[in-house]
Amino acid sequence: MHVLFLEPAFPQNQQEFVRALHKVGARVTALGEAPLHSLPGEIRACLYGYEQVPSVVNEPALFQAVRRVQEREWVDRLEATVEAHIMAAAHVREACSIPGTSTRTAFLCRDKPAMKEALREAGISCAQSTGANSEQDVWEFAENAGFPLILKPRDAAGAAGTYRADNPEELKQVIAETGVAQGMPTAVEEFIEGHEGFYDTLTIQGEVVHDFACHYFPGVLEAMRNRWISPQIICTNRLQEDSYQEVKEMGRKVIDILGIETSATHMEWFFGPKGLKFSEIGCRPPGVGAWDLYCAANEMDLYEEWAKAIVHGATEVRPSRKYSSGMIALRPDQDGRIMAYEGLEEIMSRYREEIIDYHFPPEGQGTQEVEGGYMANAWMRLRHPDYDRLREIMDQIGETVQVRAG
Together in a domain, 256 and 326: yes
Mean pLDDT of 374-389: 97
Over the stretch 209-255, which tens digit does the pLDDT of each residue have? 999 999 999 998 889 888 999 999 999 999 999 999 999 999 999 99
| CATH number of domain containing 300 | 3.30.470.20
For the chain, how many structural domains are there in total? 3
Domain-located, residue 352 = yes
Cα(13)–Cα(291) distance, integer angstroms: 10
pLDDT at residue 155 tops 80: no
DSSP 3-state of 99: coil
Helix (H) or strand (E) holding 282: strand 275-282
Domain-located, residue 119 = no
Look at residues 248, 246, 244 and name the one whose alpha carbon lies nearest to residue 265. Answer: 248
| Last residue in a domain, options 169, 190, 211 | 190
Cα(152)–Cα(166) distance, integer angstroms: 15
Q: Are 394 and 330 in contact (CB under 8 A)?
A: no
Burial, 273: exposed, middle or buried (Cβ in 10 Å; 0-12, 13-18, 19+)?
exposed
Range of the domain at 222: 195-405
Look at residues 338, 333, 370 and name the one whose alpha carbon lies nearest to residue 226. Answer: 370
| Last residue in a domain, options 190, 210, 230 | 190
Over the stretch 54-112, which tens digit does the pLDDT of each residue have? 999 999 999 999 999 999 999 999 999 999 999 999 999 999 999 999 999 999 999 98
pLDDT band at residue 125 using 50, 70 and 90 as cut-offs: very high
Cα(221)–Cα(196) distance, integer angstroms: 10
Together in a domain, 316 and 236: yes
Give the amino acid at 198: F
pLDDT band at residue 183 using 50, 70 and 90 as cut-offs: confident
Which pLDDT does position 178 carry in this prediction? 84
Helix (H) or strand (E) holding 152: strand 149-153
**Long-range CB contacts for residues 387-392, cutoff 8 Å, separation at least 24:** 387/234, 387/236, 387/237, 387/238, 387/324, 390/234, 390/324, 390/325, 390/326, 390/354, 391/217, 391/232, 391/234, 391/326
Domain-located, residue 118 = no
Together in a domain, 240 and 147: no
Domain-located, residue 90 = yes
Which pLDDT does position 158 carry in this prediction? 54
Which pLDDT does position 156 carry in this prediction? 62
- The upper half-sphere exposure of residue 288, i.e. CA atoms within 13 Å in the direction of its Cβ, equals 27
Domain-located, residue 56 = yes
Which of 158-167, 270-279, 342-351 comes out lowest in average pLDDT? Answer: 158-167
Together in a domain, 351 and 244: yes
Torsional class of 164: left (φ above 0), alpha (ψ -120 to 50), beta (otherwise): beta
Which pLDDT does position 208 carry in this prediction? 98
pLDDT at residue 160 tops 90: no
Comparison of pLDDT for 134 and 155, the residue scoring more: 134
Together in a domain, 199 and 185: no
Domain-located, residue 123 = no
Mean pLDDT of 23-45: 97
Sheet of 232-235, strand order = 275-282, 263-272, 195-204, 207-217, 232-235, 324-330, 378-384, 355-359
Cα(379)–Cα(80) distance, integer angstroms: 27
Which pLDDT does position 130 carry in this prediction? 86
Together in a domain, 199 and 186: no
Taking each helix axis from N to C end, the angle separating 86-95 and 103-110, rounded to the nearest 10 degrees, works out to: 170
Look at residues 129, 132, 105 and name the one whose alpha carbon lies nearest to residue 117. Answer: 129
Provide the mean pLDDT of the chain: 94
| Non-local CB neighbours of 242 within 8 Å, separated by 6+ positions | none
Together in a domain, 179 and 242: no
Cα(244)–Cα(125) distance, integer angstroms: 16
| CATH number of domain containing 50 | 3.40.50.20
Mean pLDDT of 337-354: 97
| CATH number of domain containing 176 | 3.30.1490.20
Together in a domain, 312 and 371: yes
Together in a domain, 244 and 173: no
Over the stretch 273-331, which tens digit does the pLDDT of each residue have? 889 999 999 999 999 999 999 999 999 999 999 999 999 999 989 999 999 999 999 99
Q: Are 206 and 255 in contact (CB under 8 A)?
A: yes
pLDDT band at residue 371 using 50, 70 and 90 as cut-offs: confident
Q: What percent of the chain has pLDDT over 90?
A: 82
